[in-house]
Structure 1
Amino acid sequence: MTTIDATDAVAKRPVRWHIAVFLAPAVLVYTAVMILPLIETLRLSLFNVVDNQPVFVGFDNFKVLFGDERWSVSFWNALRNNLVFFLIHMLVQNPIGIALAALLSLPVLRLRGFYRTAIFLPTILSFVIVGFIWKLILSPIWGVAPFLMDLVWLKPFFGPWLGKPGSALITVSLVSVWQNIGIPMMLIYAALLSIPDEVIEAAECDGVTGWAQFFKIKLPLILPTIGIVSILTFVGNFNAFDLVYTMQGALAGPDGSTDILGTFLYRTFFGFQLQVGDRSMGATIATVMFLIILAGVSLYLFVIQRRIRRYQF
């Protein structure tokens, strides 16, 4: 085929308009509920209300958020709590999810379908239901936790964990881990099942079996999936709101010890009790949250992912 014939063949290729038709509804919905609100939030963070009129103030709202003592104390407290919330998920939820996925992938394990369902079931429950149930379970007055701990002689260690500033955030974080651990487990379990049998057979021929096979062969091969799980954990934790609000209320008590960026944003934007909502400062907090998430995702995409890409098939 000559060059002219090849050019004519490419020119006669039909335009696939049906692809645009099928994508249009999703693009329109995503633009309406995500893109436009994001643009409006970024715009609103640069304005303030003076005499009931929007006035462009540039980055003054950010200076107030970071520099004014009335705002900065609450913001840095929420950011610090959010980092602790994220680290607990990274250091507890994801390693346990990897271990559970490794156990479920063992060929000798029976009833693995039941175990997968039981572990993943809390993930599909509502945050409101989970928060309310765990609040009842952990109640020192009518909760079942003291009775269960008494059965295994651990009742002396029980306390009003949700009512103590030192333990409230850890408790809420562990409840969140219990609910969401099924997501990393299933993603990593699927990655383990996708490893070619030839690789496993070659490892067994070399005498690499058991946990040595997992750490030396399987773990490096599922690093891309672990990276995805980590970035999903990061984004989800810095967008968290529902569970903390359900268990500790909008004030995220006691004494703001469970206050994260989501609850801080809620109180600022919509107001709470005698506090009047401030749309401009609320948009400023939302913009900072967006920039934090954007920085974390960019770090993963342009730095970490390039280092682990060589393990992909």
Structure 2
Amino acid sequence: MSDPADMINAVSPVRRPFRWHIIFFLLPAVIVYTAVMIIPLANTLWLSFFNQVDGQRVFVGFGNFATLFGEPRWAADFWNALKNNVIFFIIHMLVQNPIGIALAALLSLPRLRFSAFYRTAIFLPTLLSFVIVGFIWKLILSPIWGVTPYLLDVMHLKFLFAPWLGKPSSALITVSLISVWQYVGIPMMLIYAALLNIPDEIIEAAEMDGITGWSQFWKIKLPLVLPAIGIISILTFVGNFNAFDLIYTVQGALAGPDGSTDILGTLLYRTFFGFQLQLGDRSMGATIAAVMFLIILAGVSFYLFAIQRRMRHYQF
């Protein structure tokens, strides 16, 4: 008979030594991320609780937030920028992502010729500088020297042309569609990669059951790529509420006409750094940045805890 203590020792798990080399390899990335992201973010949030009084930094608590939401001038600018930002995001969600999904579905067809060329051509604008994209589209849509009036005239549709970037009613939609044109390649490639990851056995089983064509996409492929669509949606949310560069290039820091294209990013820029005769206010700029961070944090948290946890993931 063997000793019970020996039997317990025989079945007890062997403790593995701690892998110190993991810390060694992660440490440079953690240091860089902390220096570039964590520390500036913490300093910005901390700065939002202070204000300059007689040249001295004074702790005011939530006084800057009360000014941003309570003072009529600040509140009007903030709510206008937030409304435009929401519209900017909705246009991307309703136009960019569905078009990206449709393009990915078309490019994943095995019989499509020149699919590599189409993928490259559609994804190429995402590699261009926002300065180039903004300048090109300002030239294209210009009522004086733009090519758009001429093309519409050739098609006998010149009556449809208008200075879309110069009208408050259409400027935000126009800039949003320019952004959609530039970045539609990102959701297309992500969904395309997810579609290629679907095993051939599932597709063959669907074809044996008589499910082909677009019916196969809606019933089989689309449910399998829903996690990728969720990731694209949250990336679109974060990117749109951090947007600044394209609107600044096309419409300037004032985000005209009459603030119709002003979003949180351009409002933050004017407030923090100042513009023309307006002096910069670092404390109020940090306050707007803190509100932007809280909005993005709330959206990401809602996705992670309310949507992603209920989303079914398929392992192949």
CA distance in 1, matches of 2:147, 2:70: 45
**Equivalent of residue 79 in structure 1, options 64, 77, 82:** 82
Deviation at 1:151, TM superposition (A): 2.1
From 118, 122, 133, the counterpart of 1:119: 122
Give the Å deviation of 1:8: 8.0
The DSSP-based 3-state class of the residue aligned with 1:187 is helix
Are 1:274 and 2:277 an aligned pair?
A: yes
Indicate if the aligned counterparts of 2:179 and 2:246 stay in contact, CA closer than 8 A: yes
C-alpha deviation, 1:258, in angstroms = 0.2
Query: Alignment partner of 1:309: what SS?
Result: coil
Structure 1 partner of 2:265: 262
Which of 166, 170, 188 matches 2:169? Answer: 166
Distance in 2 between residues matched to 1:109 and 1:60, nearest whole Å: 60
User: How far has the Cα of 1:149 moved from its partner?
Assistant: 1.8
Residue 57 of structure 1 and its aligned partner are, at CA, apart by: 0.7
Instruction: Give 1:62's aligned residue.
Output: 65
- TM-score (normalizing by structure 1): 0.96
List, as ranges, runs of 4+ consecutive aligned residues in structure 1 with deviation greater than 6 Å.
Answer: none
Once the two structures are superposed, the pairs formed by residues 104-143 of structure 1 within 5 Å of their partners are 104-143=107-146
Corresponding letter in the other structure for 1:147? Y
Give the direction of change, closer, same or farther, for the CA distance of 1:3–1:249 in structure 2 (3 Å limit). farther
Q: CA deviation at 1:14?
A: 4.0
Residues in 1 aligned to 2:23 and 2:204: alpha-carbon distance in whole angstroms: 45
Whole-Å separation in 1 of the counterparts to 2:152 and 2:36: 46
The answer for unaligned runs of 5 or more in structure 2 is 1-5
Identity %: 77
The 2-side partners of 1:245 and 1:63 are apart by 28
Residues 247-266 of structure 1, C-alpha deviation per residue, up to 9 Å, x if partnerless? 00000000000000000000
What is the Cα deviation at residue 150 of structure 1? 1.8
Q: Which residue of 2 aligns with 1:39?
A: 42
Which letter maps to 1:165? P
1:294 alignment partner in structure 2: 297
Letter paired with 2:130: F
Q: What residue identity is the alignment partner of 2:9?
A: I
Report the TM-score, using the length of structure 2 for normalisation: 0.95
Deviation at 1:309, TM superposition (A): 2.4
Taking the aligned partners of 1:297 and 1:82, their CA distance within structure 2 comes to 16
1:249 aligns with 2:259: no
1:279-299: CA deviations, max 9, x gaps? 010000000000000010001
* 1:171-186 map, 5 Å: 171-186=174-189
Q: How far apart are 1:53 and its partner, in Å?
A: 1.1
> Superposition RMSD on alpha carbons, in Å?
1.4
- 1:4 aligned to 2:19? no
Structure 1: segments with no counterpart, 5+ residues: none
Are positions 1:187 and 2:204 aligned together?
no
Partners in 2 of 1:167 and 1:95 — Cα distance?
Answer: 22
Point out the structure with max Rg over C-alpha: 2
Which residue identity is paired with 1:118? A
Counterpart code for 1:211: W
Farther-moved stretch of structure 1 (16-25 vs 84-93): 16-25
Across the two proteins, how many residue pairs are aligned to each other?
A: 311
